[in-house]
Chains A and B, each alone.
Chain A
């Protein structure tokens, strides 16, 4: 079974803090994605990576950055957290087709 693990299930951070969300997959997939999920807005793509040290912006990259130093790990970084970044964050690892999701990190910025 493919396993995609996100480091935290729940996080509470203060406005202005730098936040790291970690995602690790164990299937040697090249493609990894970060989405945020908000009610009524579905899954919106923040960033994705198709190889180590490679990254591409998704639909809503503003306020975020990513890091892919190793194939199995894809990190999402909130440089200076703001309240409008309170959301559920989902990491996914994919073959060329099927996406396998992590369990999600519910981030609250206060």
Chain B
């Protein structure tokens, strides 16, 4: 099955600096790569995603890049703010043999933005 590796496991940045989280995946058939943000005590929520036919996608201070050849994708947060502090999960989606889609998650990155 798919294997998603995520680094780093923890990341501390000063407010206003940029943060980068990187993920690699193993199955070249994966074609959808979402990122989820989980604030303390809350459920994970989708913040941005990218499909295999796109190399980069941006939404305000958040951007995601995808390198299909190298099988890695990254989340970039610019001008970080304290409310960006959370655990971030990357994921890769692959169509299962049963015809459904299966999301495999990375282990998460705990981002702390220091005011």
Residues of A bordering B, CB below 8 Å: 30-31, 33, 35, 40-45, 48, 50, 54, 56, 58-59, 90, 92, 94, 96-99, 101-104
Q: How many pairs, one residue from A and one from B, have CB atoms within 8 Å of each other in the complex?
A: 63
User: B49 near A97 (CB under 8 angstroms)?
Assistant: yes
User: B100 near A50 (CB under 8 angstroms)?
Assistant: yes
User: A97 near B93 (CB under 8 angstroms)?
Assistant: yes
Residue of B at shortest CB range from A38?
Answer: B107
User: B100 near A31 (CB under 8 angstroms)?
Assistant: yes
User: A97 near B100 (CB under 8 angstroms)?
Assistant: no
User: In the complex, A42 Cα to B106 Cα: how many Å?
Assistant: 6
Q: Which residues of chain A come closer than 8 Å to B9, judged between CB atoms?
A: 40
Q: Which residues of chain B come closer than 8 Å to A104, judged between CB atoms?
A: 43
Q: Which residues of chain B come closer than 8 Å to A48, judged between CB atoms?
A: 100, 102
User: In the complex, A45 Cα to B44 Cα: how many Å?
Assistant: 14
Tell me if B1 is interfacial: C-beta within 8 Å of chain A: yes
Q: Name 19 A/B residue pairs within 8 A (Cβ), A-sorted.
A: A35-B105, A41-B107, A42-B106, A43-B89, A43-B108, A44-B105, A45-B104, A45-B105, A50-B98, A54-B98, A58-B102, A98-B34, A99-B34, A99-B36, A99-B44, A99-B46, A102-B43, A103-B43, A104-B43
